[in-house]
Amino acid sequence: MKKKEQDLVEKIRELTGGEFITEGYFTTLEGWIKQYDSQGRLLTPDPNRKEGTIIVDGIEYKLIRAGWKAWIYTMDRRLISTVDLTPDYIKEKEKES
């Protein structure tokens, strides 16, 4: 990932509190069974697709989030970045399997 793209991802992460979701987003409404580990951490991601926009440095970007992934697009639909939001404890568990 280029430095400029990485800086944008980090700025959006900061502005959204790491959630890559903004106020007033659109979402699908699927239900899912939430599963937790023995420490109360979520093991199953929200399958609902969430879409919203955010303005960074005067430029509007589209955010899409589903499961443990988020995508950042320009408003003319050019993909800028795919962000893996999988928690570290999930990644560790997958390595052990």
At residue 93, the pLDDT reads 83
- In this predicted structure, the answer to whether residue 94 has a pLDDT above a threshold of 90 is no
**CA 70/CA 51 separation, integer angstroms:** 10
- pLDDT, mean of residues 29-34: 90
**DSSP states of 44-66 as a string?**
S-----EEEEEEETTEEEEEEEE
**Residue bearing the bigger pLDDT, 24 or 77:** 77
Model confidence at 24, pLDDT cuts 50, 70, 90, reads: confident
- What are the pLDDT digits (tens) for 34-92? 999 999 999 999 999 999 999 999 999 999 999 999 999 999 999 999 999 999 999 98
